[in-house]
Structure 1
Amino acid sequence: MGRAVTRVRPGAVGDRVTGVRALWAAVRPGRLAAVVGVAAFGVAVAVGDGAALERRRVVALLALPPVVTGVEAVAGARADDARGASPWTAAVALLCGAAAAALIVVADAPASAVWLLVAVAGLSVVGPLSPLSLAGRGLGVPVAVLYWGFALPGYGAAAVGRTGRTVALTLLPFALLVVAVRLEAVWPRRHADAYVGHDTLAVRWSPRWLRAVYAVAAVAAFGALVALTDGVVPAAPDVFSWSATIAALPAMPVTAWGVVRFTRRRRPYPAAVAAGLVAALQSATWAYAALG
């Protein structure tokens, strides 16, 4: 008898490759890298507050990428109606959830870190890339502030053992810059959002109001940074050392340029650059102080 030959349906391999590519696009690796970077900023905040990087606690940080990947894969595939991605999406979501749960158990993560990880997942579900996004109802800015400004870096800090008022106040200037970052993100899409019925702030408000909110957020961010610096305001808690405050100052002219140019150019992104500078330079300062 001849050997049985398995016939492959024409196009089957190509369909699978297309599905994997669509799923990879739905995960949005660039966004995932930004998520990890912001969480690392939270770790630096905790280190600046005196936390030690124990190996067991660092393992808890590894639970964040699987959670975000699973949620983004499901939300992105549904939002984009990615061809061929559906068979892979459920498997990826289950694997990511199992991996995150295992890492949390192995790391014996604090309860605060677990709850913040749940908050990250929940905010991802209603984020701007999700079919359940609240951005179309004018709530994109508060969701972004909670997600990027507090939940992600807060999880990084909680995973290594730091939570509370000091961590929240340390994150406040960065979170206020997220307001400007989000406004920059929705401004170029205002016409498309209006066409499909998404009532974002860029659709609701005039350019003058948007510039005013942008400017207030920028001034408040650096005002909070200075006010919370050691010895500046006697009634305010001393959250930032002078070295951490000075490290963030290069972001000020970038933010000022954003205030001047916002709504006057189609794609000005100085607020995103400024927020990245604040996170990177302050993280380097705290890491240097901890190593020294």
Structure 2
Amino acid sequence: MDDGTAVTLPVTGVTRTAIDRAPRLWTLWKAARPSQLALIGAVYALGIGMALGRRGDWSLAAHGPAVGIGGLAVFAVAASIHYANEYVDVETDRRTERTPFSGGSGALAQTGVDRVVLARASLTAVIVGIAIAAGGYVTGQLSATAVVFLGVIALAGLGYSLPPTAFIRRGVGELVNALLGGLLLPLYGTTTVGTPTVADGVALVPFCCLIGCNLLATHWPDRDADASVGKRTLAVRLPPDRLRRLYWLLAGSAVVVTGLSYETVLPPLVVAGQAGSLPLVLWGGIVLTRQRSPFPAVAAMVWYALATAAAWWSLAVPFV
């Protein structure tokens, strides 16, 4: 809320029962952000599909253990990052008026559980994730490249919220977030079945741009609460007109890079799937700063991720 007053979050009877019976367990589940973990799984699969699709080789069976171990490791690391973010942002989340796509999970505000629980969970989860990856490397299932990628994801993801880096408080949070989700995560998926190439990196540039658009939209409703606790998001730092111009610059860059990469880096089938997100991108730019809900930009990013993953995987299937 604009005056920084704490918000009381409504809960249903079923949710209230779960909170009362097992508040810590419910907090850990909610703060892990299951919907975001599902999207992370899709982006991980995008990277795997991109590697297999470029080869036109349906060889997942040969890489099954590596894909499974890599997936478990990245889910643990992602949960750790989410817990760290919720731990740091508890005061921000109490002050903002949440939307379904912004304002954190609200788990701590709903349960009153001590936020130290999330600090411990974050440390435990990242140790588990790194241990799984290390085990995969020792047994020959994961490459050294995969372990390095996961390590960078863990460090940058935790550094997004936590000191001493706290990227979100230094004005570079959106850039770090876009590179993490749009580039490093899918390339990590690629490392489980092959070796990332320059072409793979170029192919992911439009996705990074759309994640940037999504972040501008999701940070907008939280701008007052973020400003009150010292978070220097672009929504806090830039006036509305400049924020909208940046959105259009990112969206336009995604279109231009896609056009330049057509057929050479991005197969026609992949571009055809991605094109479905364009109306949502346009809608998101039109309503940015004019409505609180970031739905159009979020939907555009999700469509793009799912369509891209499906297209790459279809190229790997022999009968397509």
Match of 1:58 among 53, 64, 67: 67
Deviation at 1:133, TM superposition (A): 3.1
Name the structure 1 match of 2:149: 116
Please tell me whether the aligned partners of residues 46 and 310 of structure 2 are also in contact (alpha carbons under 8 angstroms).
Answer: no
Q: Which runs of 5+ in 1 are unaligned?
A: 1-13, 231-237
Larger radius of gyration: 1
Q: Which amino acid aligns with 1:260?
A: I
Aligned residues: 271
3-state SS in 2 of match to 1:85: helix
Please tell me whether the aligned partners of residues 69 and 96 of structure 1 are also in contact (alpha carbons under 8 angstroms).
Answer: no
Name the structure 1 match of 2:102: none
Q: Does 1:39 align with 2:44?
A: yes
Match of 1:203 among 224, 236, 259: 236
Sequence identity percentage: 29
Deviation at 1:228, TM superposition (A): 0.3
After TM superposition, list the pairs within 5 Å mapping 1:93-104 onto structure 2: 93-104=126-137
Distance in 2 (CA, whole Å) between partners of 1:251 and 1:25 is 28
Deviation at 1:203, TM superposition (A): 1.3
Deviation at 1:38, TM superposition (A): 1.4
Q: Does 1:48 align with 2:56?
A: no
Distance in 1 (CA, whole Å) between partners of 2:156 and 2:290 is 31
Once the two structures are superposed, residues 82-103 of structure 1 have per-residue CA deviations (whole angstroms, 9 ceiling, x without a partner) of: 4272696355554444334323
Distance in 2 (CA, whole Å) between partners of 1:204 and 1:240 is 35
Cα distance change, pair 94–126 in 1 and its aligned pair in 2 (3 A):
closer
Q: Which amino acid aligns with 1:29?
A: P
Name the structure 1 match of 2:295: 269
Please tell me whether the aligned partners of residues 191 and 203 of structure 1 are also in contact (alpha carbons under 8 angstroms).
Answer: yes
Please tell me whether the aligned partners of residues 168 and 233 of structure 2 are also in contact (alpha carbons under 8 angstroms).
Answer: yes
Distance in 2 (CA, whole Å) between partners of 1:187 and 1:246 is 30
Please tell me whether the aligned partners of residues 45 and 286 of structure 1 are also in contact (alpha carbons under 8 angstroms).
Answer: yes
Please tell me whether the aligned partners of residues 32 and 68 of structure 1 are also in contact (alpha carbons under 8 angstroms).
Answer: yes
Distance in 1 (CA, whole Å) between partners of 2:204 and 2:238 is 27
Q: Which runs of 5+ in 2 are unaligned?
A: 1-18, 91-107
Please tell me whether the aligned partners of residues 110 and 158 of structure 1 are also in contact (alpha carbons under 8 angstroms).
Answer: yes
Please tell me whether the aligned partners of residues 53 and 314 of structure 2 are also in contact (alpha carbons under 8 angstroms).
Answer: no
Q: Does 1:179 align with 2:212?
A: yes
Please tell me whether the aligned partners of residues 44 and 185 of structure 2 are also in contact (alpha carbons under 8 angstroms).
Answer: yes
Deviation at 1:64, TM superposition (A): 1.2
Distance in 2 (CA, whole Å) between partners of 1:94 and 1:268 is 33
Cα distance change, pair 210–88 in 1 and its aligned pair in 2 (3 A):
closer
Please tell me whether the aligned partners of residues 20 and 88 of structure 1 are also in contact (alpha carbons under 8 angstroms).
Answer: no
Q: Which amino acid aligns with 2:231?
A: H
Q: Does 1:280 align with 2:303?
A: no
TM-score by length of 2: 0.76
- Superposition RMSD on alpha carbons, in Å? 2.5
Of structures 1 and 2, the one scoring higher in RCO (CA 8 A, sep 6+) is 2
Name the structure 2 match of 1:145: 178
Deviation at 1:146, TM superposition (A): 1.3
Deviation at 1:79, TM superposition (A): 4.7
Cα distance change, pair 66–262 in 1 and its aligned pair in 2 (3 A):
same
